[in-house]
Amino acid sequence: MNTNAVVEVRNLRLKFPGEASLMFKDLSITVPEGQKVLLLGPSGCGKSTLLQVLSGIIPNSIEVPLKYDEIQRSASWGFVFQDPDTQFCMPYVDEELAFVLENLSVPREQMKERIHQALASVGLLLEDPHTPIQTLSQGMKQRLALASILLLEPDVIYLDEPTALLDPEGTVEIWNTVKSIASSKTIIIVEHKIDQIVDLVDRIVLFNHAGEIIADGVPHEIFQKNKQELVQFGIWYPEVWEDYLSSDKYQALQQQYHAELALANELEHTREPVIRLQEFSGFHGDVRKIHVPEAVLYAGEWLAIVGSNGAGKSTFLQSLMQLLRTEGLYQIEGEQIVQTTKRIRKQIVPSQLAFVFQNPEMQFITNSVNEEVSFSSSNVPLSGNDSNGDIQALLNKFDLAGLGERHPYQLSMGQKRRLSIASSIFGGQKIVLLDEPTFGQDARNTFAILEMIEGLRLEGAAIVMVTHDLHIVQHYATRVWTISEGQLIDSRLSGRGGTNGVLYTAENNMALPC
Amino acid sequence: MLNDQEKVSKALKFSDILITVMVAIVFGLIYKFWGSVYGVVSPLFLKADQLTYGMWFIAGPIAFLLIRKPGVALLAELAASSVSALIGSEWGIQTFVYGIVQGLGCEIIFALFLYRNYSLIVAGVAGLMSGVGSFVVDLAYGYANYELWMLVYKYGLRMISSFVIAGVFAYLLVRALEKTGVTKLIRPVSKSEYASLND
Amino acid sequence: MGFFTPQRITWLYHVNPAFKFIVFVLLLCVALINRNFEFALNQMIVYLLVLILFCGYSWKKTALLLLPFLFVFMSTATSMILFGKGEHMWWTWGLIRISEESFFRGMVLGLKTCSCGMMGMVFALTSKPILFFYALMQQFRMPPKFAYSFIASIRMLPMIMDEFHIRSNVLKIRGKRYARGVKGWYQRLSQYAIPLLAQSIRRAQRVAVAMEAKRFQMSSSRSRTYYYTTSYSRFDAAFIAVMLFLVTFAFVLSD
Ligand SMILES: Nc1ncnc2c1ncn2[C@@H]1O[C@H](COP(=O)(O)OP(=O)(O)OP(=O)(O)O)[C@@H](O)[C@H]1O
Ligand SMILES: Nc1ncnc2c1ncn2[C@@H]1O[C@H](COP(=O)(O)OP(=O)(O)OP(=O)(O)O)[C@@H](O)[C@H]1O
Ligand SMILES: [Mg+2]
Ligand SMILES: [Mg+2]
């Protein structure tokens, strides 16, 4: 056994109950003290699972059959999980941190002081630590998670996609915080969005679909030598967007777009907007959470909506869907929409709109993938050979072929996402609203989803999409809105046309010309 | 249907306890609001409300059918009933006492089958025993002084409801949950799964 | 200001919540086994007084809170009055046989249920859940694994409410329609219950894992320290004295 290894496993075998094949077969990995390791691999290859085995969560907290020849775990470790909402057990910030101190039997008199220190060291500056955790933004929640781990004073820190749901600003903050506390610690990271951390890690372990290690080395070597595998398995790497932009697929789409653009310029004055808004507001309860002074949306446009966590982006989409109380002028194809008001409680969802929710699981209403896509908004399950063919074609298009009989909940995260998109657009609506459809996806799935949406746009749909990914804003969206504190503060053409580009900056969360 | 799994670890993990309490609290809220369903049904015919009574026993069977470990049925029923008491149910903290006895009622049935039988019949009988438990407390409470026909009629209705709601309905609900794959995460793992690691 | 914000914080709020609960459970047993009409009536008056005087809510709100008890009283008392056993018949009509005994037994049942309900209401109005569980751990040796399970579950309830709203939006958007009658009722139920329950179970499991990752241990409770310390105070002495006095008084008056 390696002498200065803090975490090590030899010949690990692991299998989820009820699954046909092993997740890991004779996997070995050693991490020496002080190293910063990034585990990289396609979605579903077992990275999170491995992190849980190394930390001891499997099998101590979760029972999963496994065996190994030898294992060494650190007694002193901390774990930040992917989902900010499922790692706290107490209602208030101070109580949550105190919970950790209670577990460590720290005397009560010292608690206030230590809580204060921990909050300070992650830069979570609250007036009063007795603040409800629910009122924090996602980024602040993840910093709280880091703070509670600091209280454990761990030798080894495990980070499982801690920034998956964060805006660019929050992402930068979290990684800066990690860097500031990292120096002497061993850190093992799983992350798809690697831009911010390539300079933090000194080793990358690369996995394939089968959960086997296919490469292991210093970052720049991996990115050079194993480029082929990275591309083949659809894994994020630093220049993935550059490579994608020069790919035939994207170039073809771009050409089509430019042809379309030339045509559209000629027809400019004859175009009718599909959506027109004026002094339009949406409310949560009695509080105005979004206000749009004036805006129009045309068929064939791809509108990206950006803004920090909690700015009101999802609220805007829900207002368009009439799921919230709204007021002001709201026309679709020239017709005023009957709005949900205090008096008119019965919400009527405009039939021209399709909507993809932020959480795909909440969207499924049937027991199989097939039923899910065939369940059109007219609520008549389609029947007959003709529609059966349609369904198969649609499943193929969304890379879901062969999964038709599965329960939607038993798909991988990426597959669930794609199914939720497929099922909500089957009605052929002209306006498609999507709330962060690409978060937590590997590169391959991200591009696949974007190409599908582009396909819809080319067929004449108007796309409205909330996203935190600046590359998407720059290379797919045709127009970009910035929402800040419940106000539409900026609307401009995006860089896709090549003429007026945008640069989205993390500091002030605004789209700027460049 | 007796499950022929080999012996597996049945000790409660912390996640088992938390899941049990979580599910129980959800049902505790339902218990509280079930009071109004009970009220709406009452006027239909004599003692019609008894046909809704089984809902108040459902937490125990559900928790056991989900997690399949000893103790969870009792814990769930106790937690659900005390929560509905803590949030100010109009029935008050007496539900706490009922919860203990009802929970014991269904736990005993699952124990009799060595915690290895998860069939509809056993779930139904367990629900029925919760009903018997509530009957026992009712006796102490002073409901024994009905005319005989009324005693048989009222508690007969309640037993039917116990079997159907706390047994059959709970069983169907857990079956539907199984389809979503969530139970795979929380049930004990059989020895044969460990054996297959060596293939 | 929400409905459940009291007008003033009374001394009852300072009683150790776990102690308060235990005392109420003991008093509950007294109420349960009692068969005497007058004692039952006096007890109910006692708890009514405690609810009105010591909970710090305005008359209007208290009256509103009392409304459900009317229904509870009716539903428990009437059937015993109408169908109970008895010798001294007052009135019969078909199956209905109102006798002196059945009347008083029915009244006793109704009064008991109201007493229990009011005790529960007093407890719910004047106790903070978190402190209740902290007190149970500290004064009554409740294992932390149970206490924190409750605390964590209570924290997750608002998320379930949020998901419920999302779910109803989804069903609206996808235009889900239901069959008529019982079948439609069942469809509706499963469209809500299954996903919400499945999500809650998953979430509970993740939270349990996260808690253990923060070194929460199921067994050792000996050395645990507490952020909120709860103890006994003069309010607890006052509470037990007042309750004992009132219930004894109720008992003596009923003889
Ligand atoms: N409890 C479970 N039962 C059965 N299969 C599971 C379970 N948990 C995970 N899996 C499967 O095991 C595989 C590895 O999952 P894991 O969460 O480790 O992937 P990952 O590499 O972290 O992927 P991602 O990047 O999408 O988070 C996936 O295919 C997943 O579907
Ligand atoms: N159901 C609700 N009731 C009351 N307020 C709400 C509700 N949902 C969201 N809010 C508030 O509305 C504001 C906007 O929230 P919204 O979810 O639209 O943000 P977002 O821009 O989508 O953020 P994110 O990037 O984190 O998804 C926030 O201040 C939030 O706290
Ligand atoms: Mg993962
Ligand atoms: Mg959002």
Parallel, antiparallel or unpaired: strands A213-217 and A302-306: unpaired
Give me the residue label for tokens 């290895």. B116
Q: Does residue B3 form part of some domain?
A: no
**Joined tokens for residue A246:** 């020069």
User: Which residue range is the domain that position B103 belongs to?
Assistant: 14-197
CA angle, A51 then A52 then A57, to 5°: 150
Query: Rounded mean pLDDT of A155-179?
Result: 85
pLDDT bracket for residue A501 (50, 70, 90): very low
Q: Does residue C79 form part of some domain?
A: yes
Q: Does residue B6 form part of some domain?
A: no
Pairwise CA distance, residues C54 & C67, whole Å: 18
**Joined tokens for residue B152:** 């048989």
Q: Based on the fold, state whether residues C89 and C115 are members of the same structural domain.
A: yes
Q: Does residue A214 form part of some domain?
A: yes
Chains touching chain A through at least 3 C-beta pairs below 8 angstroms are: B, C
Q: What is the ipTM score, two decimals?
A: 0.87
Q: Does residue C219 form part of some domain?
A: no
**pLDDT tens profile A364-392:** 877 788 888 877 544 444 444 456 777 78
Contact assessment for residue A131 and residue A147, using Cβ atoms and an 8 Å cutoff: no
Minimum mean pLDDT range among B15-24, C20-29, C50-59, C213-222: C213-222
Helix (H, G, I), strand (E, B) or coil at A284: strand
Please check the confidence at residue C63 and state whether its pLDDT lies above 50: yes
Query: Rounded mean pLDDT of A278-289?
Result: 88
Q: Does residue A332 form part of some domain?
A: no
Q: Based on the fold, state whether residues C206 and C241 are members of the same structural domain.
A: no
Give me the residue label for tokens 């860097």. A179
The reply to whether ligand 2 has any atom less than 6 angstroms from the CB of A315 is yes
Q: What is the 3-state secondary structure (H, E, C) of A433-494?
A: EEECCCCCCCHHHHHHHHHHHHHHHHCCCEEEEECCCHHHHHHCCCEEEEEECCEEEEEEEC
Please check the confidence at residue A499 and state whether its pLDDT lies above 70: no
Contact assessment for residue B132 and residue B107, using Cβ atoms and an 8 Å cutoff: no
Query: Rounded mean pLDDT of A42-56?
Result: 89
The reply to whether ligand 2 has any atom less than 6 angstroms from the CB of A282 is no
Q: Based on the fold, state whether residues C203 and C155 are members of the same structural domain.
A: yes
**Amino acid (1-letter code) at residue A33:** E
| pLDDT for position B9 | 65
Contact assessment for residue A196 and residue A116, using Cβ atoms and an 8 Å cutoff: no
Contact assessment for residue C154 and residue C207, using Cβ atoms and an 8 Å cutoff: no
**pLDDT tens profile B72-95:** 999 999 999 888 878 777 777 888
| pLDDT for position A168 | 81
Q: Based on the fold, state whether residues C128 and C151 are members of the same structural domain.
A: no
Nearest Cβ partner for C207 among B18, B39, B94 = B18
Using a CB-CB distance cutoff of 8 angstroms, which residues of chain B are in contact with residue C80? 143, 145-146
Query: Rounded mean pLDDT of C147-158?
Result: 91
Q: Does residue C221 form part of some domain?
A: no
Please check the confidence at residue A174 and state whether its pLDDT lies above 90: no
Q: Please count the residue pairs, one from chain A and one from chain C, whose beta carbons lie less than 8 angstroms apart.
A: 126
Most confident of A119-128, A236-245, B62-71, B144-153: B62-71
Which ligand is closest to the CA of A44, given by its number? 1
Q: Does residue C5 form part of some domain?
A: no
| pLDDT for position A383 | 46
Query: Residue B147 and residue C108: Cβ atoms within 8 Å?
Result: no
Query: Residue B14 and residue C218: Cβ atoms within 8 Å?
Result: yes
% of chain A exceeding 90 in pLDDT? 25
User: Which residue range is the domain that position C204 belongs to?
Assistant: 143-213
**pLDDT tens profile C93-145:** 776 777 778 888 888 888 988 998 888 889 988 888 899 999 999 999 889 99
Query: Residue B14 and residue C211: Cβ atoms within 8 Å?
Result: yes
- Residue nearest atom 7 in ligand 1 by C-alpha distance: A16
Using a CB-CB distance cutoff of 8 angstroms, which residues of chain A are in contact with residue C195? 361-362, 364
A68 CA → ligand 1 middle, Å? 20
- Residue nearest atom 17 in ligand 2 by C-alpha distance: A314
Using a CB-CB distance cutoff of 8 angstroms, which residues of chain C are in contact with residue B25? 150, 153-154, 157
Contact assessment for residue A441 and residue A414, using Cβ atoms and an 8 Å cutoff: yes
pLDDT bracket for residue A498 (50, 70, 90): low
Enumerate residues 7 to 36 of chain B having a beta carbon within 8 A of any beta carbon in chain C: 13-15, 17-23, 25-26, 29, 35
Segment holding B76, helix H or strand E: helix B72-86
Using a CB-CB distance cutoff of 8 angstroms, which residues of chain B are in contact with residue C152? 18, 22
Q: Does residue C197 form part of some domain?
A: yes
Handedness of CA A121, A99, C162, A52 (dihedral sign): positive
| pLDDT for position A1 | 47
Where does residue A337 rank: exposed (0-12), middle (13-18), buried (19+ CB within 10 A)? middle
| pLDDT for position C149 | 94
| pLDDT for position A404 | 79
Please check the confidence at residue B125 and state whether its pLDDT lies above 80: yes
Using CA coordinates, name the residue in chain C closest to B137: C32
Segment holding C113, helix H or strand E: helix C100-126
Q: Based on the fold, state whether residues A310 and A203 are members of the same structural domain.
A: no
Q: Based on the fold, state whether residues C97 and C54 are members of the same structural domain.
A: yes
- Residue nearest atom 28 in ligand 1 by C-alpha distance: A44
Distance from CA of C58 to the nearest CA of A (A): 26
Q: Does residue B148 form part of some domain?
A: yes
CATH of the domain at B106: 1.10.1760
**Joined tokens for residue A450:** 């974007």
Nearest Cβ partner for A102 among C155, C158, C225 = C225
The reply to whether ligand 1 has any atom less than 6 angstroms from the CB of A489 is no
Minimum mean pLDDT range among A114-128, A334-348, B151-165: A334-348
| pLDDT for position C101 | 80
Q: Based on the fold, state whether residues C27 and C57 are members of the same structural domain.
A: yes
Q: What is the 3-state secondary structure (H, E, C) of A304-318?
A: EEECCCCCCHHHHHH
Count the domains in chain B: 1
Q: Based on the fold, state whether residues C48 and C173 are members of the same structural domain.
A: no
Q: Does residue B193 form part of some domain?
A: yes
% of chain A exceeding 70 in pLDDT? 90
User: Which of A427 and A488 is assigned the larger pLDDT?
Assistant: A488
Query: Residue B13 and residue A16: Cβ atoms within 8 Å?
Result: no
Which ligand is closest to the CA of A64, given by its number? 1
pTM: 0.86
Distance from CA of B147 to the nearest CA of A (A): 49
**pLDDT tens profile B154-180:** 899 999 999 999 999 999 999 999 988
Chains touching chain B through at least 3 C-beta pairs below 8 angstroms are: A, C
Query: Rounded mean pLDDT of A239-246?
Result: 87
B85 contacts chain C (CB < 8 A): yes
Q: Based on the fold, state whether residues C199 and C250 are members of the same structural domain.
A: no
User: Which residue range is the domain that position A36 belongs to?
Assistant: 5-237
User: Which of A167 and A64 is assigned the larger pLDDT?
Assistant: A64
Minimum mean pLDDT range among A83-97, B132-146, C34-48: B132-146
Q: Based on the fold, state whether residues C127 and C45 are members of the same structural domain.
A: yes
List the beta bridge partners of residue A431: A353, A462
- Residue nearest atom 16 in ligand 1 by C-alpha distance: A46
| pLDDT for position A426 | 66
Q: Based on the fold, state whether residues A212 and A314 are members of the same structural domain.
A: no
Query: Rounded mean pLDDT of A493-498?
Result: 69
Q: Based on the fold, state whether residues C123 and C74 are members of the same structural domain.
A: yes
Q: Does residue C6 form part of some domain?
A: no
The reply to whether ligand 2 has any atom less than 6 angstroms from the CB of A138 is yes
Distances (CA, A) of A376 to A205, A226, A367, A372, A383: 44, 44, 15, 8, 11
| pLDDT for position B6 | 40
Parallel, antiparallel or unpaired: strands A462-466 and A302-306: parallel
User: Which of C100 and A297 is assigned the larger pLDDT?
Assistant: A297
pLDDT bracket for residue A310 (50, 70, 90): confident
Pairwise CA distance, residues C50 & B165, whole Å: 37
Query: Residue B173 and residue C211: Cβ atoms within 8 Å?
Result: no
| Mean confidence (pLDDT) of chain A | 83
| pLDDT for position A382 | 44
Query: Residue A67 and residue B197: Cβ atoms within 8 Å?
Result: yes
| pLDDT for position A506 | 40
| pLDDT for position A381 | 45
% of chain C exceeding 70 in pLDDT? 97
Q: Does residue C226 form part of some domain?
A: no
Mind giving me the DSSP string for B62-129? Answer: HHHHHH--TTHHHHHHHHHHHHHHHTT-TTTTHHHHHHHHHHHHHHHHHHHTTT-B--HHHHHHHHHH
Distance from CA of A149 to the nearest CA of B (A): 20
Q: Does residue B152 form part of some domain?
A: yes
Q: Does residue A272 form part of some domain?
A: no
Q: Does residue B118 form part of some domain?
A: yes
Q: Does residue C48 form part of some domain?
A: yes
Mutate to test the interface with C, among A158, A365, A380, A423 (most CBs of C within 10 A): A365
Query: Rounded mean pLDDT of B128-142?
Result: 89
CATH of the domain at A375: 3.40.50.300
Where does residue C180 rank: exposed (0-12), middle (13-18), buried (19+ CB within 10 A)? exposed
Query: Rounded mean pLDDT of A42-70?
Result: 89
Q: Does residue A282 form part of some domain?
A: no
Q: Based on the fold, state whether residues C122 and C156 are members of the same structural domain.
A: no
Q: Based on the fold, state whether residues C204 and C240 are members of the same structural domain.
A: no
Q: What are phi and psi of A329, to 5 degrees?
A: -85, 130
Most confident of A131-135, A362-366, B51-55, B107-111: B107-111
Count the domains in chain C: 2
- Residue nearest atom 11 in ligand 1 by C-alpha distance: A44
Distances (CA, A) of A150 to A161, B71, B127, B143: 18, 36, 48, 59
| pLDDT for position A511 | 46
pLDDT bracket for residue A205 (50, 70, 90): very high
Count the domains in chain A: 2
| Mean confidence (pLDDT) of chain C | 85
| pLDDT for position A266 | 65
Segment holding A5, helix H or strand E: strand A5-14
- Alpha carbon B146 to its chain centroid, in Å, reads 27
